[in-house]
Amino acid sequence: MNITKPIVLLILDGFGYRTEIEDNAIAAANTPRLDALMKDYAFGTIDASERMVGLPRGQFGNSEVGHLNIGAGRIVEQDITRIDMAVEENTLKDNAALQDAFKYANGKKLHLIGLLSDGGVHSHISHFFAVLDAAVAAGVATIVVHPFLDGRDTPPQSAEAYLAQLQDYTKAHPQVHIGTVVGRFFAMDRDNRWERVQTAYDALVGVAAPFSANSAVQALQDAYARGENDEFVQATLIDSNMVIEDGDVVINMNFRADRAREITQALLNADFDGFERAKQPKIAYYTSLTSYGKQYTHPVMFAPQSISNGLGEFVSSQGLTQLRIAETEKYPHVTYFFSGGREEPYAGEERILVPSPKVKTYDMQPEMNAPVVTQHIVEAVQNNRFDFIMCNFANGDMVGHTGVFEAAVKAVEALDTCVGQVVDAVIAAGGEVLITADHGNCENMFDHGNGQAHTQHTTQPVPFIYVGRPATIQTGGALKDIAPTLLAMAGLTPPAEMSGQNLIQFA
């Protein structure tokens, strides 16, 4: 099959489009290559949040949602929307997996672990209270919440309001307790930093915790006094009688898979080798709101949706080759999420994982390993091995999350250099490039409403740059339109399952 080759998709993670220059790391950066591409080639913007990507109104997009929609070529109704509907319709309490959890908790403790915030990226506090209400109504005698604190998809110091709500609930319901508190930096790692996960695990199962407090709010105030924001709150024991023990039941309240996997492995896997477990309680029943992947066989409340004939599957079915490449931080997104929840590569698909730098936070190395990723792409283009190349550059999101403006500017400038090198190689090879993003972040680095750094995602549109033939970009597009557009660039007709549209009007 003869197609325009190679077709390269560059996803600049967390790289929104915002015309205001104040607190905008992209506007402040020196970006000669991106500026020239937007001037000399077809440029537009597309939506990457709210209902246009299957999220509730007002909800900003995220990397999981973005890559699902991009890879599927259609709007994928998101898990948060499905769960919200069950809560609103009062049907969550009847969920079979949840009912089983209540039955197994007879005479034992029922533990809820997960991110306690309204960020809506990995979890939502409303889901916690819906499950708590159901457990109380079902007569569960001892219910324990172990909140992981956010400060990443919410302002850096915003957890007190969420913990206060939870404490008020425990006062009204004496069977509900708070066992431990820990920041997501430790409990929700996704980069095999097992030393971080161990501190959360040890607190959850009662091995040890670096700190203790009389209440969750007190634990937070103590952490602030130590100079720790929500995300980095060290594990704190609130009630030594409320840790996870043999025969207990655990519900993981995170609906997004990538940052729920490692703590799940530590709690469940008999052959786990991430760190030495001083205690390994025999959990009677473990469930989560959603599936964390095929290798996780525990029951789930909301089964995965089937996504057929997404971009990866369709490209493979046409006998074409494809490369997926990203740093560790975004590797699940270019593989599992982009493939609609499929772990295994398709026929003709290869993958390159570039380890992310081993630094505590990425403001310490804002270029991350984007130059290494770039080198791999350029080599792949020059070797003419692949028909499609899909890459995620993590910098805009990972450095944007630190809230450090100067570092975010450096990250954008590093991206500009890398994008330019890729574009040069692709043009020399006779290929075409589509440059876009999965959601916004680094284009807004300060929240004037609360006077804190803005570390979360945004609802801004994202850039859409086509580097190829003379063309214009249609307005009104969204992430669902990227896959059909890529296929049009290659001269292919999208499959019927893709409801997205080609956004390029060739001259």
Give the DSSP letter string of 363-382. Answer: GGSTTTTHHHHHHHHHHHHH
Annotated ligand binding at 153? The verdict is yes
Q: Which two tokens stand for residue 400?
A: 């944007």
Residue 1 lies in a domain: no
pLDDT score for 172: 99
Domain of residue 264, residue span: 80-302
Residue 129 lies in a domain: yes
Amino acid at 95: N
Q: What is the pLDDT of residues 155-175, one digit of tens each?
A: 999 999 999 999 999 999 999
Residues 390 and 350 occupy one common structural domain = yes
pLDDT score for 11: 99
Instruction: Tell me whether the omega of the peptide bond preceding residue 6 falls within 30 degrees of 0, making it cis.
Output: yes
Residues 259 and 319 occupy one common structural domain = no
Residue 148 lies in a domain: yes
Question: At which of 302, 335, 358 does a domain end?
Answer: 302
pLDDT score for 294: 87
Annotated ligand binding at 152? The verdict is yes
Phi, psi of 141 (to 5 degrees): -80, -35
Distance, CA of 182 to CA of 192 (rounded, Å): 18
Alpha helices (H) along 29-157: 32-40, 63-72, 79-88, 96-104, 125-137
Residue 356 lies in a domain: yes
Annotated ligand binding at 146? The verdict is no
Residues 458 and 359 occupy one common structural domain = yes
pLDDT score for 221: 99
Residues 68 and 84 occupy one common structural domain = no
Residues 21 and 132 occupy one common structural domain = no
- Give the three-state DSSP class for 357: coil
pLDDT score for 258: 92
Active-site residue, 316 included: no
pLDDT score for 2: 65
As for how many domains the chain has, the answer is 2
- For residue 126, the domain's CATH number is 3.40.1450.10
Question: At which of 261, 278, 302 does a domain end?
Answer: 302
Q: Which of 63, 158, 288, 316 is catalytic?
A: 63
Question: Are 321 and 387 contacting, i.e. CB atoms less than 8 angstroms apart?
Answer: yes
pLDDT score for 306: 86
Residue 400 lies in a domain: yes
pLDDT score for 237: 99
Annotated ligand binding at 177? The verdict is no
- For residue 30, the domain's CATH number is 3.40.720.10
- b/e map 219-241, b = 16+ CB within 10 Å: bbebbeeeebbbbbbbbbbbbee
Find tokens 């790692």 and name the residue: 189
Q: Is 212 exposed, middle or buried (0-12, 13-18, 19+ CB in 10 A)?
A: middle
pLDDT score for 211: 99
Annotated ligand binding at 33? The verdict is no
Residues 121 and 152 occupy one common structural domain = yes
Residues 254 and 393 occupy one common structural domain = no
Q: Which residues of the chain have pLDDT under 70?
A: 1-2
Residues 121 and 159 occupy one common structural domain = yes
Annotated ligand binding at 25? The verdict is no
Question: At which of 302, 322, 348 does a domain end?
Answer: 302
